[in-house]
Structure 1
C-alpha cells in the first residue's frame, strides 16, 4: 500500500485485523510505515547503495520517532546510497571504532573495578582476591591504560614481588593468577585484543605442602590458647578438632549449627567443594560451641556482626608463645593435614576421612549416584580424632581412644 503520509494519517490509521500492514510513503523514497495488529507503528527505510543489493534499516517506533525524523533519516540514507555509500554500515563501523578506542583508554584500575563488581564479588574468596588487586596490582599498574599494558609490565610487577622477601613466593603466583583472570575477562569484553599476562610463565614452582604437626607441637599450640579468650581460643581449637578450612570456621553462623542433633551444615556457597557438607560434631566441639556467647549470627566473632579477623596477629602470638622460631615453618592450614594424617594413624578408612574433611571422592559413581551421607562414619572418625587430641593435650584422667580396623 502506498500513501502520502501525514502526521494525522499516521496517528489515526486503523491497525489491520491480523498480521501487519506496510505503507510506502509517496513523498519520501524508501520510507515505510509498518502497522501491526497490536497497534504498534514502526519505521523502516529501504535503500540501495549504487551497484549493490537493496538494504533495510529499522528506525524506531511512532510516536517516539516522528514522521519528520523518519523522513530526514530516509533522505540521508538514500542520498548516501546514490553515490555508493552505505551510511548505516559506516555509522556502525565508526561506533565500533569509538567503542574500541574508549575501551583501550580504560585504565587497569577501571578494568579491575569492573571485574570485581561483575565477577569477583560473587566468588567464595572475594575478599582475598580484592586485597591482591588493591595491595599489589592496582598501585603498580592501575594508571596504565589497557592499550599501554605490555608483557614486560607484568613481568616487572611479579619480579618486584619476588624481591620483596615474601615469606612464601607462592603468593606471587596468586597475584599472577588474579591478574591473568582479570585480563582474560577484559579480552572477552574486547577491552583489549590479547592478554599480556597469559604468556608469562609461573614465577615460582610450587611444591605441595606436606607439613604435619607433631603431637608435641599440637599440645604446645593447644596449651598456648589456654591463656587466650574467645573467639581466638575457640577458633584455633575448632580448627584442630574438625580439620575444617580456616574461613569455614571463621565465618561459621549459628544458623548452620544444630547442637541438639550434633551437626554443622556447611552450605555449598561457603566451601571449596561447592556442595552442602554435613559435619558431625564431636563432644569436644559441642562443648566449645555451647560455651560461646551468642552475640549475633556469627559464631567466631567479637561483636556478632562480622567474623573474627585477627588471624595474622593470632598466628604471630602463637608462634611467640610456643617458640616456633625453632620449628619448621607451619601455617593454620597445616591443622587440616594433621587431622587427616592423624585419622589415618587411627585406622580410619580413607573414604571416611576424606568425606569427613569434605574432600572429593573420585569416580563418576561416587559423584553422581552415591547419595549416602556417611554421617555415622564421619561422626566416628571425628570423635576418634577428638579423643586422640584430648589424649595428646591432657594425659590426666582415663582416655578411651577407639582404634579402627586398618583401611
Structure 2
C-alpha cells in the first residue's frame, strides 16, 4: 500500500494502480487511507488492530461526502476508541443487525405488531380511519394473550387454514366463543394487511368457521335495578365491595342516560350545556362517528353535580382518572365494578350494557309506550329508519331532540319510581306523551 501525506489535490487526481483496488495510506494519521475502486470510485477507510490482534477495516464514507480534514478528525476519534478496547466495526455490525431485525417482518408477531401500528393511523386497510383507542386496547389484549401464545413465533407464510381452524376451535372449547371470534377477526385483519404488503399470497383465515355470536337478551328486573342503584349510591357500605364514588355515579348516570359506558366515563364539562340541559357527544367519541345530542333529565343533572363534588382533581372530565386529570376513568372500570358487585351480592350475570337494553325495553313497553324509532335515536343507533327508505337517513339530520327528551325524562321518572318503591320524586313531573 503506497504511503504518503495526502492532500486535497492528490485525492481529486488519484487513480487506481493497474486497474485494481488501490489504497493510499496517509502519513499524517495512522490508519487512514484513500481507497479507490477499479472504476475510480473513491472513499475513506480506517484500518486498525483490535486488542485481540484482529486486523479490521472500517469505511468512513465517500470522498464526495467526507472531506480529507473530516476523515482525519474521524480517524483520531476512532483510534482513541480502539486504544480503549473498542471495536468500531463490531459495533457498526451489531447496529446493522439490530436495524435489520427491527424491520424484519416474517412472523405472526412481527407483522401483527406492524399491523397494530398502522391501525393507529388508519393505514391498516384501504380507505380506513384510525382505530379507536378502546378498540385497539381490546384487540391487543386478545393478540397478546392468545394469538402470540400459540402462533406468534410462526412465520406468517407457514400458518395454514387448518392451523387457524384448530386454534379458534381450541379457544371456543377451552376459553370462550367470544375469544375465538375476536381472535379470528384479528388474524383475518393481519393477513389481509400482509397480503396488501405482498408478504403472503393468501389469507388462511378465509373459510375458517367460528361459533356465531349469540345476542345477549338480559333485561334487568325492577328489583335488580333497585339493588344496583342502592348499592352504587355513595358512600358504598356493602361489606366486601370497594367501588370509588366516581365509578358509582358513572354507573348511575349510564342507567339514566342509556349511553355507552365509555361515552359516559369520557363525559366532559365542555360537552354539557346546562341552560338547554343537553350533552353533546362529538363524533370522535361515538360508535357511529356522528355527533349525538343527549337530553339531560333533572336526575341526570343531579348525578353530574354529585360526581363533580367527589372529584379529587380539577379537570374538564366529569369522571377524571385519579392518576391523570387529563384522562377519564376507563369504561372497563364500570365492568369491573359490576363483576365485584354481582359476586358480593350474588346477582348473577349482569353487565353494564344490560342497563341500555333494560332502559330501551322499558321505553318501548306498555309502561311508557315510546316507538322503537324514538328509542333508536336515544341509543344513537343508525340502522333504524322507521320503515322509511334507507336513503332518507342520509339526508335526515333532524336530531329528534324533543322526542328524545320526553323519552329520557320519562325514563328518569320511571327509575325514580323503581328506586323509591314506586313513589314519585318531588322534583320530577309525569309527562304526557
Distance in structure 2 (CA, Å) of the matches to 1:330 and 1:110: 38
Counting matched residue pairs gives 300
Distance in structure 2 (CA, Å) of the matches to 1:275 and 1:148: 42
Distance in structure 2 (CA, Å) of the matches to 1:190 and 1:219: 57
- Range with greater deviation from structure 2 (358-367 or 133-142): 358-367
In the TM superposition, 1:288-367 aligns within 5 A as: 288-293=303-308, 295=313, 296-303=315-322, 304-309=325-330, 310-325=333-348, 329-345=349-365, 346-360=368-382, 361-362=384-385, 363-367=389-393
Residue 246 of structure 1 pairs with residue 261 of structure 2: yes
Provide closer, same or farther for how the CA distance between residues 385 and 366 of structure 1 changes in structure 2, counting only shifts above 3 A: farther
Distance in structure 2 (CA, Å) of the matches to 1:305 and 1:105: 36
Distance in structure 2 (CA, Å) of the matches to 1:151 and 1:306: 42
Name the SS for the 1:206 alignment partner.
Answer: coil
Provide closer, same or farther for how the CA distance between residues 105 and 398 of structure 1 changes in structure 2, counting only shifts above 3 A: closer
Moved over 6 A (4+): none
- Range with greater deviation from structure 2 (282-291 or 131-140): 131-140
1:93-145 deviations in Å (ceiling 9; x for gaps): xxxxxxxxx99961111111111111256212222122121222122211111
1:152-204 deviations in Å (ceiling 9; x for gaps): 221232133223344xx2232112111112211111221100010122112x1
Distance in structure 1 (CA, Å) of the matches to 2:392 and 2:371: 16
1:231-288 deviations in Å (ceiling 9; x for gaps): 1111210111111112111222232222332111112222122211111111111111
Distance in structure 2 (CA, Å) of the matches to 1:157 and 1:103: 27
| Structure 1: gaps (5+ residues) | 1-63, 65-101
Q: Is the 8 A contact 1:262 1:280 kept in 2?
A: yes
* Residue matched to 2:115: 115
* Residue matched to 1:375: 401
Q: Is the 8 A contact 1:240 1:336 kept in 2?
A: yes
Which residue, out of 162, 184, 195, partners 1:152? 162
Aligned-pair RMSD on alpha carbons? 2.5
* Residue matched to 2:194: 186
1:69-94 deviations in Å (ceiling 9; x for gaps): xxxxxxxxxxxxxxxxxxxxxxxxxx
Residue 230 of structure 1 pairs with residue 245 of structure 2: yes
In the TM superposition, 1:6-405 aligns within 5 A as: 106-120=106-120, 122-124=130-132, 125-166=135-176, 169-202=177-210, 204-226=211-233, 227=236, 228-293=243-308, 295=313, 296-303=315-322, 304-309=325-330, 310-325=333-348, 329-345=349-365, 346-360=368-382, 361-362=384-385, 363-395=389-421, 398-399=424-425, 402=430
> Structure 2 length normalisation: TM-score?
0.64
| Structure 2: gaps (5+ residues) | 1-63, 65-101, 122-129, 237-242
Distance in structure 2 (CA, Å) of the matches to 1:234 and 1:201: 42
Distance in structure 2 (CA, Å) of the matches to 1:364 and 1:140: 44
Return the offset for 1:208: 1.6
Q: Is the 8 A contact 1:252 1:298 kept in 2?
A: yes
Provide closer, same or farther for how the CA distance between residues 211 and 398 of structure 1 changes in structure 2, counting only shifts above 3 A: closer
Name the SS for the 1:279 alignment partner.
Answer: strand
Name the SS for the 1:324 alignment partner.
Answer: coil
1:280-332 deviations in Å (ceiling 9; x for gaps): 1111111111222363233223322333243343122210343214xxx3221
Provide closer, same or farther for how the CA distance between residues 267 and 340 of structure 1 changes in structure 2, counting only shifts above 3 A: same
Question: With CA pairs under 8 Å and 6+ residues apart, which has the higher RCO, 1 or 2?
Answer: 1
Name the SS for the 2:174 alignment partner.
Answer: coil
Provide closer, same or farther for how the CA distance between residues 252 and 398 of structure 1 changes in structure 2, counting only shifts above 3 A: closer
Q: Is the 8 A contact 1:347 1:404 kept in 2?
A: no
Provide closer, same or farther for how the CA distance between residues 142 and 404 of structure 1 changes in structure 2, counting only shifts above 3 A: farther
Q: Is the 8 A contact 2:273 2:279 kept in 1?
A: yes
1:340-371 deviations in Å (ceiling 9; x for gaps): 11111201122211111101132335322222
Distance in structure 1 (CA, Å) of the matches to 2:255 and 2:419: 11
Q: Is the 8 A contact 2:416 2:424 kept in 1?
A: no
- Range with greater deviation from structure 2 (103-112 or 250-259): 103-112
